[in-house]
Amino acid sequence: MEQLKTIGRELAMGSQGGAWAGQSKEFLDLVKSIGEARSKAEEDRIILLEIETLRRRIAEPDVPRRRMKDYIIRLVYAEMLGHDASFGYIHAVKMTHDDSLALKRTGYLAVTLFLSDDHDLIILIINTIQKDLRSDNYLIVCAALTAACKLINEETIPAVLPQVVDLLAHPKEAVRKKAVMALHRFYQRSPSSVSHLISNFRKKLCDNDPGVMGASLYPLFDFITEDVNSYKDLVTSFVSVLKQVAERKLPKTYDYHQMPAPFIQIKLLKILALLGSGDKQTSGHIYNVLSDIFRKCETSSNIGNAVLYECICCVSSIYPNAKLMDSAIEATSKFLKSDSHNLKYMGIDSLGRLIKINPDIAEEHQLAVIDCLEDPDDTLKRKTFELLYKMTKSSNVEVIVDRMIDYMISINDNHYKTEIASRCVALAEQFAPSNQWFIQTMNKVFEHAGDLVNVRVAHNLMRLISEGFGEDDEGADSQLRSSAVDSYLRILGEPKLPSLFLQVICWVLGEYGTADGKYAVSYIIGKLCDVTEAHLCNDTVKAYAISAIMKICAFEIAAGRKVEMLPECQSFIDELSASHSTDLQQRAYELQALLSLDSQAVGSVLPLDASCEDIEVDKELSFLNNFVQQSIEMGANPYLPESEQLGMSGVSNFRSPYQQEASSHTLRFEAYELPKPSSIPVIPQASVLTQTRDLVPVPGTTYYRENNLGSKLPTGPEASSADVGIKLRLDGVQKKWGKPTYSSSSSGATSAEKTTNGIGAHQDGIRSQSRDTVYDSRRQQPEVSAEKQRLAASLFSSSASKTEKKPTSGQRMPKGSDANAEKSSVARSVSPGNSEVKTAAPDLLDFGEPVPISAPTIDPFKELEGLIGPAQAVIDNSITTSGVQAPDLMATLYMDTPPSGSRSSSSGLVSEGVYSTDKGSHTAKPTPAVKKGPNLQDALGKDATVRQVGVTPTGNNPNLFRDLLG
Amino acid sequence: MIHFVILLSRQGKVRLTKWYSPYQQKERATVIRELSGLILSRGPKLCNFVEWKGYKVVYRRYASLYFCMCIDQDDNELEILEIIHHFVEILDRYFGSVCELDLIFNFHKAYYILDEILIAGELQESSKKTVARLIAAQDTMVETAKEEAGSISNMISQAM
């Protein structure tokens, strides 16, 4: 047994990454016991015990540093599982002061996980962060920057800001990148603190390192969101960067699944969408690069679709362009027709964006939309409701709102219920075909969403009922009111109604219950009394009810009729007069007082239909003038405005120094001056900043000069301008990442154009192929049910008369456009040279429909045979279960294969084939194939260590050993 | 931006959490409880996204482990899905065919790796190689520090 342990340990040490070396036995035991816990309660008990132990141990004097590190990691673990470990925070803070990098990192990790940015202990870390930001070791600087991102708050930004700004010029790109991201975080916390640094971010856009450039896009994106117009000058720079990225000028390491730096592309597209929004001229610059990317995007991979989706967003945001719209529509329809739910979801979202520009395109996809609406997947359904919300017109509002309400009734998620209820209300208010329908809809919403509805909505409804729909037709208004009263009287029979709805009912019954003379006064009052008894209602509803009773009585008295007090009404009034709520008491007494007044007085206290009268507020209080005049004549002191009052009493003299003091009370983070100030002159912060801005060399400029020696200067006047430092020079940057071609920008573009044309056309060919198959499968499906078609018709058709014809024409639409597209793409795919045609062959295998491919061609078991022989023997001897383990270990497939997953390993070869055909444009070095399949030695190592530790996958979690990635 | 990252096992056990927006300890517990109820019950063919309290949660399952990230309404879900995959690929490269157990016992290392990929809720580095290089540099620094400490303690013990 002992021997086995050693073997296990050796194996563990030998494997790359060190497996589980370096952790204490206690930690491993903790994890093990947690892993074996059968219930949450048991887990909690273990952790609480552990926390108690740690609390004792950590407080012992002279805990060795390495031991302390172990304790802190265990605390992090406890906190991660949701328990409070606040007693250990201070020790984590102390650990950040340590000199050794290992311990310092642990300390920083722990504090970033423990502390929120407003925690009291932060103040103790500031000094350490300041010191570490100045460290010679870039790894320490990195650790400090990571911590600063999490811990520095608005108040402490000034303490570290100058140093972080200095780090923008650090020789290590990792540090520059983190510094940019930290400044971005500071901007989010407190925009004013960083806003003077905009020029620095602009400079970082032409950093030599793509990582730093990519990082600079985040702050720039935020700045541009804030104020678009100040950054229009950057459009050409962004476009040229994007072009270079798309043309694979970045280092290969930024490729992701054969896409050139897709994450940077996405961010750039987001920025361009902002810049081009509603600006025809700017959008003009973007069109070219967008259509390039549309052509290059690989729709078979997830990341390709992510970029494609971002393109669609961009197209829908910038000034519309017909050609790009077509591409966007084509991409969207491909999303919608996909089998993957994710893509359908994106398709629905894209459609929602595109119909803002052209509402007609929805019609083509009506059946797909209906399918999504009826999909069992809630996420997809909700997204579809969002789309329907966007495309609601007065012709389809009834169907859509009905659907929404049905869905609303069926869900329990309060947050979404609120949202969908407010959408229903918005649609009903905007498009209601009739008052009747409107009232009914609102009733349903209130009945089912109840108190989740915003109070404002209830007030709106009351206002709408009292004011009518803005038409001057009194008759229609009163009809609306009486139908509202009818429906409310009916609804009051329901057993349980939300309080907000009851308020509306009470108010409407009070105002209009007796207006049309259909119902007797006593009937309405009786109903109102019932409301308070039948429903458990709060004081607000009672107040509404008694006010309503008061109004009805008043109308009666004003009309000269006698009011009979019902016994239940009397008891209701008595109850309220003795209520704890003074508001209710007052209302009750007011009602009683009102009953004793004569008809004229009552008529002027509560006139009929007064809710529509505008209340004019007399701000000058002119009606008090007489009273004031009298008082002054009687010898009262005249009123003095507040400012004069303060001036007279001298309070203002106290005030201003106090304010000054307050401002100087803020924390100081700079070190105190040394006793002899002559040796180190303290530079005020502002001058430091200007200094750096002046002195920092601009990489862009120097680079620009070097690279343009061979090429002609594209922009003469700009180059000679004085502020070269701050302005961007991206004409030069163009060749930064690619091969030094020394060609003028125009020729570079054309050569790239050629290559892209080749690829694009030839992908088109494939696309049409796959589309064919899609279409075929669609045709084979049984005819779409009549019900669906009817639904589609009611949603999408503009007039009811076309209901019968529309669905079929809609079905045909995609077919027609498909055929066209096919023709054109076939025509295009013929045109390029023979070389492309040859390479197309392997492509076809690969880019087709995402059929599950049994990816690894090598049988993992065969591979296993050789290696596992001796090792297995050892394991077999000791543990009987290992026979079952072995296949589990080697399982390489995903549990559920995502659409792109299985393809990645083989498509590397394909891209090699494609790109080696055009030798001129770039060196086609295929990325070294990612190591696939399980590393046997590793796996065995882990297995052995696990056994040594004693953790074996038990019945409740057999998957612990399963490779996450195949 | 990404508001938080949560790794959940299929049984709903928390394997890793990282919060980029402020959440109190109590809120964290509720978030995890709600999300595990929401995500773990979803079928395999459905969307990898769920809308949740005005945010979107993008998740992806690897073997028995769910990687979840919470993002804003207007973020690109497919991109986040790939960020998750990017993270897993880097983990895989670092640990060598990573499995859930690696993350359980080395959760602090997983944190270090995550810190190199995401910072302040944004993707910091999209080059696997750069991340790998930084992590390796940190590891070697730690190793040398350990060796030095070891040799010093050896010297001390010998001297005594």
How confident is the model over A616-642, as a mean pLDDT? Answer: 81
Angle between helices A651-664 and A642-649 (to 10 degrees): 90
Chain A contacts of B14, Cβ < 8 Å? Answer: 80-82
Total residue count of chain A as it appears in this document: 966
With CA atoms as reference, the chain B residue closest to A106 would be B108
CA angle A502, A504, A505 (to 5 degrees): 60
Residue A264 has pLDDT above 80, yes or no: yes
Integer Cα distance of B100 and A369 in angstroms:
39
Those of residues 301-360 in A touching chain B at CB distance below 8 A are 302-303, 305-306, 309-310, 313, 341-342, 344-346
How confident is the model over A554-562, as a mean pLDDT? Answer: 80
A54 and A75 Cβ atoms separated by less than 8 Å: yes
Residue with tokens 């050796």: A10
Distances (CA, A) of A620 to A589, A625, A642, A765: 31, 9, 16, 78
CB contact under 8 A, B119 and A935: no
A361 and A354 Cβ atoms separated by less than 8 Å: yes
Residue A9 has pLDDT above 60, yes or no: no
Those of residues 367-396 in A touching chain B at CB distance below 8 A are 376-380, 382-383
* B contact test, residue of A83, A381, A423, A965 with most B CBs within 10 A: A965
Using CB atoms within 10 Å of the CB of residue A933, give its burial: 0 to 12 exposed, 13 to 18 middle, 19+ buried. Answer: middle
CB contact under 8 A, B53 and A345: no
CB contact under 8 A, B22 and A342: no
User: How many angstroms separate the CA of residue B158 from the nearest CA in chain A?
Assistant: 20
What percentage of residues in chain A have a pLDDT greater than 70? Answer: 64
DSSP A181: H
Those of residues 400-419 in A touching chain B at CB distance below 8 A are 415-416, 419
User: How many angstroms separate the CA of residue B39 from the nearest CA in chain A?
Assistant: 11
User: How many angstroms separate the CA of residue A964 from the nearest CA in chain B?
Assistant: 5
Chain B contacts of A934, Cβ < 8 Å? Answer: 97
Residue A879 has pLDDT above 60, yes or no: no
- For residue B67, list its beta bridge partners: B7, B60
**Phi, psi (5° rounding) for residue A637?**
-75, 135
Integer Cα distance of A103 and A715 in angstroms:
53
Task: Look over chain A and give the mean of its residue pLDDT values, rounded to a whole number.
Answer: 72
Integer Cα distance of A34 and A38 in angstroms:
9
Quick one: pLDDT at residue A451?
Answer: 75
Residue A265 has pLDDT above 80, yes or no: yes
Which pLDDT band holds residue B122 (cuts at 50, 70, 90)? very high
With CA atoms as reference, the chain B residue closest to A266 would be B79
H/E element, B52: strand B49-52
Quick one: pLDDT at residue A146?
Answer: 93
Choose among B50, B98, B119: nearest Cβ to A178. Answer: B119
In this structure, the strands spanning B14-19 and B2-9 are antiparallel
In this structure, the strands spanning B65-71 and B2-9 are antiparallel
Q: Does A188 touch chain B (CB under 8 A)?
A: yes
* A contact test, residue of B28, B39, B47, B55 with most A CBs within 10 A: B47
Quick one: pLDDT at residue A494?
Answer: 77
Chain B contacts of A15, Cβ < 8 Å? Answer: 96
Between residues A778 and A320, the one the model is more confident about: A320
- How is residue A398 written in tokens? 């009834």
Quick one: pLDDT at residue A148?
Answer: 93
CB contact under 8 A, B16 and A80: yes
Q: Is the dihedral of CA A166, A171, A175, A180 positive or negative?
A: positive
CB contact under 8 A, B64 and A946: no
Chain A contacts of B51, Cβ < 8 Å? Answer: 379, 382-383, 416
CB contact under 8 A, B101 and A303: no
* A to B CB pairs, distance under 8 Å: 245
User: How many angstroms separate the CA of residue B156 from the nearest CA in chain A?
Assistant: 16
Instruction: Record the pTM.
Output: 0.69
B59 and B39 Cβ atoms separated by less than 8 Å: yes
Amino acid identity, residue A61?
A: P
CB contact under 8 A, B100 and A960: yes
- How is residue A367 written in tokens? 């059946």
With CA atoms as reference, the chain B residue closest to A946 would be B101
Residue with tokens 């509202």: A484
Integer Cα distance of A519 and A485 in angstroms:
10
User: How many angstroms separate the CA of residue A121 from the nearest CA in chain B?
Assistant: 16
**b/e for A96-123, b at 16 or more Cβ within 10 A?**
bebebbbbbbbbbbbbbbbbebebeebe
- For residue A840, list its beta bridge partners: none
Residue A605 has pLDDT above 80, yes or no: no
Q: Pick from A192, B19, A697, A125: which is nearest to A133 by CA?
A: A125
B70 and B57 Cβ atoms separated by less than 8 Å: yes
Helix (H, G, I), strand (E, B) or coil at A963: strand
A493 and A514 Cβ atoms separated by less than 8 Å: no
Those of residues 684-713 in A touching chain B at CB distance below 8 A are none
DSSP B125: -
Integer Cα distance of A481 and A487 in angstroms:
10
Q: A549-553, A702-706, A887-891, A956-960: which has the highest mean pLDDT? A: A549-553
Choose among A101, A960, A961: nearest Cβ to B145. Answer: A101
CB contact under 8 A, A379 and B83: no
Q: Does B22 touch chain A (CB under 8 A)?
A: yes
Between residues B41 and A522, the one the model is more confident about: B41
Chain B contacts of A383, Cβ < 8 Å? Answer: 51
What percentage of residues in chain A have a pLDDT greater than 90? Answer: 20
A135 and A141 Cβ atoms separated by less than 8 Å: yes
CB contact under 8 A, A256 and B47: no
In chain B, the largest separation of any two C-alpha atoms, in whole Å, equals: 67
Residue A411 has pLDDT above 80, yes or no: yes
How confident is the model over A178-187, as a mean pLDDT? Answer: 93
A528 and A510 Cβ atoms separated by less than 8 Å: yes
Integer Cα distance of A871 and A796 in angstroms:
66
Segment A449-508, tens digit of pLDDT: 877 887 887 887 888 787 776 555 677 777 778 888 888 888 887 777 888 888 888 888
H/E element, A593: helix A582-595
Q: Does B81 touch chain A (CB under 8 A)?
A: yes
Choose among A84, A146, A313: nearest Cβ to B115. Answer: A146
Q: Does A41 touch chain B (CB under 8 A)?
A: no
- For residue B59, list its beta bridge partners: B68
Residue with tokens 């052509």: A295
Chain B contacts of A142, Cβ < 8 Å? Answer: 134
Choose among B22, B88, B107: nearest Cβ to A77. Answer: B107
